[in-house]
């Protein structure tokens, strides 16, 4: 009897221990959506999302099945999805060929879950190809920024064969602010003239929309937009745009900047038909030219070149923006650039003569693979000095980098 009682007690204790063991729930990996309807000639990104970011660069192999034949009815940009370290999302691009003649299905599956993950809600995504006619809506670039008070952005329309689609009449295509935006419409930004759409002129395939900055707030400065009109429009190669509101220029400009170059000097000289002697007479912009915008709004220049013939030690402030054109190429490089007022410049841009008065320059900050910050500065207000009167007061554009 005692032996039986002991066995019963041991069984109960083991059952209690097993019951108390916590169930380990692994993070999941799932496609963003289970089904898609994609018209012929259109592109469909298939997103994969993980609950937790991966620790290292990770590749998720994919398999493709269904009634549609890969290479004949559709193409993919790759047969896997790459997720960079620290991220939890990636995508594969599926393009349905325009030549399809019937509706078919494309099944996209993950071959196996990653180590430490389980499959989530949608381990497979199914695309149904359709023969419907549509217009493809695509932003001109996936990213942009608003360095000044406002900026214009471009949207392109295409037919299903990839050709430009010219609208028959003036057309407005609604835009939608995506929930992943950190900037709040009406608080941090607004659409100029309340036009929350891309506007297309008659017989044009490219339209524009404009956004105005209300205020900058750290951590709340990205705007994500997509097409807001699902009737008759299908997202193209760039279905969304992420627009950044950078710190305002009066904060970003503070500090020392050393000269980099005269922007596209060779193109400028060719456009004006300058001789080598005339080209050499133009102002240079080298590392010996140092501009210092101080936090107390004082401005100083240290230069051994011709820039010292224009700039003076003075005061500065930022007020408003202007549309400027860079270079001499076509189509022109247009930018809405903040306006910097200088209390004193030498309007004659000359070492021999002076005409000191208030002036303005336009400038914005960009970047390149070589330089994290590049200050692009354009002088629009200057006279015809004896050194380079042959350019008739044309705008001069220089680039500087952080010292």
Q: What is the pLDDT of residues 216-259, one digit of tens each?
A: 999 999 999 999 987 789 999 899 999 999 999 999 999 999 99
Residue 301: name the closest of 251, 264, 345 by CA. 345
How far apart are alpha carbons 90 and 84 in whole angstroms? 8
What is the predicted pLDDT for the residue at 20? 54
Residue 173, domain member (yes or no): yes
- The residue-averaged pLDDT of 25-42 equals 94
- How far CA 333 is from CA of 199, 321, 325, 328, 337, in Å, comes to 20, 16, 5, 8, 12
Is residue 164 located within the same domain as residue 239?
A: yes
Is residue 384 located within the same domain as residue 284?
A: yes
What is the predicted pLDDT for the residue at 4? 47
Backbone angles phi, psi at 145, to 5 degrees: -150, 165
DSSP, residue by residue, 14-66: HHHHHHHSPPPPPPEEEES-SEEEEETT-EEEEEEEESS--SS-EEEEEEEES
Residue 230, domain member (yes or no): yes
How far apart are alpha carbons 289 and 310 in whole angstroms? 12
What is the predicted pLDDT for the residue at 384? 63
Q: What is the pLDDT of residues 97-145, one digit of tens each?
A: 999 999 999 999 999 999 999 999 999 999 999 999 899 999 999 999 9
Residue where one domain finishes, among candidates 185, 214, 246: 246
Q: What's 388's DSSP letter?
A: S
Higher pLDDT, 332 or 210: 210
Residue where one domain finishes, among candidates 130, 155, 188: 130
Q: What is the pLDDT of residues 178-189, one digit of tens each?
A: 999 999 999 999
Q: How confident is the model at residue 17 (pLDDT cuts 50, 70, 90)?
A: low
Does 387 have pLDDT greater than 90?
no
Is residue 59 located within the same domain as residue 155?
A: no
Residues of the domain holding 210: 135-246
For 118, the token pair is 């389980």
Is residue 318 located within the same domain as residue 192?
A: no
- The residue-averaged pLDDT of 52-63 equals 96
- The residue-averaged pLDDT of 376-382 equals 92
Is residue 124 located within the same domain as residue 153?
A: no
How far apart are alpha carbons 180 and 108 in whole angstroms? 26
Is residue 270 located within the same domain as residue 362?
A: yes
Residue 337, domain member (yes or no): yes
What is the predicted pLDDT for the residue at 286? 96
Residue 21, domain member (yes or no): no
Mean pLDDT of the chain: 91
Q: Is 292 helix (H, G, I), strand (E, B) or coil?
A: strand
What is the predicted pLDDT for the residue at 390? 81
Q: Yes or no: say if 254 and 278 are a contact pair by the CB < 8 Å rule.
A: no
Residue 7, domain member (yes or no): no
In this structure, the strands spanning 333-346 and 314-326 are: antiparallel
CATH number for the domain that contains residue 177: 2.60.40.2030
Is residue 237 located within the same domain as residue 326?
A: no
- The residue-averaged pLDDT of 57-64 equals 96
Is residue 398 located within the same domain as residue 320?
A: yes
Q: Name every residue whose Cβ is closer than 8 Å to that of residue 263 and which is 6 or more positions away in sequence.
A: 326, 327, 376, 397, 398, 399
Residue where one domain finishes, among candidates 246, 264, 279: 246
Q: How confident is the model at residue 37 (pLDDT cuts 50, 70, 90)?
A: very high
Residue 52, domain member (yes or no): yes
What is the predicted pLDDT for the residue at 207? 97
Higher pLDDT, 19 or 74: 74
Is residue 63 located within the same domain as residue 106?
A: yes
Q: Cβ of 267: how many Cβ atoms within 10 Å? A: 12
Q: What is the pLDDT of residues 354-365, one digit of tens each?
A: 999 999 999 999
Is residue 125 located within the same domain as residue 144?
A: no
What is the predicted pLDDT for the residue at 352? 86
Q: Cβ of 33: how many Cβ atoms within 10 Å? A: 13
Q: Cβ of 376: how many Cβ atoms within 10 Å? A: 21
What is the predicted pLDDT for the residue at 21? 59
What is the predicted pLDDT for the residue at 11? 55
Q: What is the pLDDT of residues 280-313, one digit of tens each?
A: 999 999 999 999 999 999 999 999 999 999 999 9
Residue 366, domain member (yes or no): yes
- Tell me how many domains the chain contains: 3
Mark residue 401 as left, alpha or beta (left: phi above 0; alpha: psi -120 to 50; beta: remaining): beta
Residue 235, domain member (yes or no): yes
Is residue 192 located within the same domain as residue 211?
A: yes
Does 260 have pLDDT greater than 60?
yes
- The residue-averaged pLDDT of 327-335 equals 82
How far apart are alpha carbons 365 and 363 in whole angstroms? 7
Is residue 119 located within the same domain as residue 162?
A: no
């Amino acid at each position: 009897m005692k032996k039986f009682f002991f066995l019963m007690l041991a069984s109960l204790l083991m059952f209690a221990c097993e019951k108390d063991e916590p169930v380990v729930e692994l993070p999941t990996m799932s496609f963003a959506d289970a089904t898609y309807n994609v018209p012929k000639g259109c592109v469909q990104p298939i997103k994969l999302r993980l609950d937790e970011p991966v620790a290292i660069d990770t590749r998720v192999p994919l398999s493709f099945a269904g009634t549609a034949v890969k290479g004949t009815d559709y193409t993919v940009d790759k047969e896997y999805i790459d997720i960079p370290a620290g991220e939890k999302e990636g995508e594969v691009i599926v393009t349905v060929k325009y030549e399809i003649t019937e509706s078919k299905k494309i099944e996209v599956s993950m071959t196996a879950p990653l180590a430490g993950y389980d499959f989530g809600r949608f381990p497979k995504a199914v695309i149904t190809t359709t023969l419907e006619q549509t217009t493809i809506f695509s932003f001109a670039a996936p990213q942009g920024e608003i360095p000044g008070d406002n900026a214009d952005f471009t949207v392109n329309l295409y037919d299903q064969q990839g050709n430009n689609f010219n609208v028959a009449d003036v057309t407005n295509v609604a835009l939608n602010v995506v929930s992943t935006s950190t900037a709040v419409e009406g608080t941090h930004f607004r659409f100029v003239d309340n036009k929350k759409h891309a506007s297309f002129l008659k017989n044009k395939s490219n339209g524009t929309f404009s956004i105005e900055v209300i205020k900058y707030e750290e951590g709340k400065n990205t705007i994500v937009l997509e097409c807001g009109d699902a009737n008759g429009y299908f997202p193209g190669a760039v279905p969304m745009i992420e627009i950044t509101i950078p710190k305002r220029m009066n904060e970003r400009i503070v500090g020392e900047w050393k000269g980099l170059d005269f922007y596209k000097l060779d193109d400028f000289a060719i456009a004006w038909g300058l001789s080598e002697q005339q080209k050499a007479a133009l102002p240079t912009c080298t590392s010996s030219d140092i501009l210092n915008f101080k936090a107390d709004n004082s401005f100083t220049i240290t230069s051994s070149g011709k820039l010292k013939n224009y700039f003076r030690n003075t005061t500065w402030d930022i007020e408003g923006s202007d549309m400027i054109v860079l270079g001499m190429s076509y189509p022109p490089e247009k930018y809405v650039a903040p306006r910097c007022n200088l209390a004193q410049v030498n309007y004659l841009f000359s070492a021999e003569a002076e005409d000191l008065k208030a002036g303005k320059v336009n400038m914005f900050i960009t970047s390149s693979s070589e330089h994290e910050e590049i200050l692009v500065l354009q002088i629009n207000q200057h006279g015809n000095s004896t050194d380079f009167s042959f350019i008739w007061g044309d705008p001069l554009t220089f680039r500087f980098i952080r010292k």
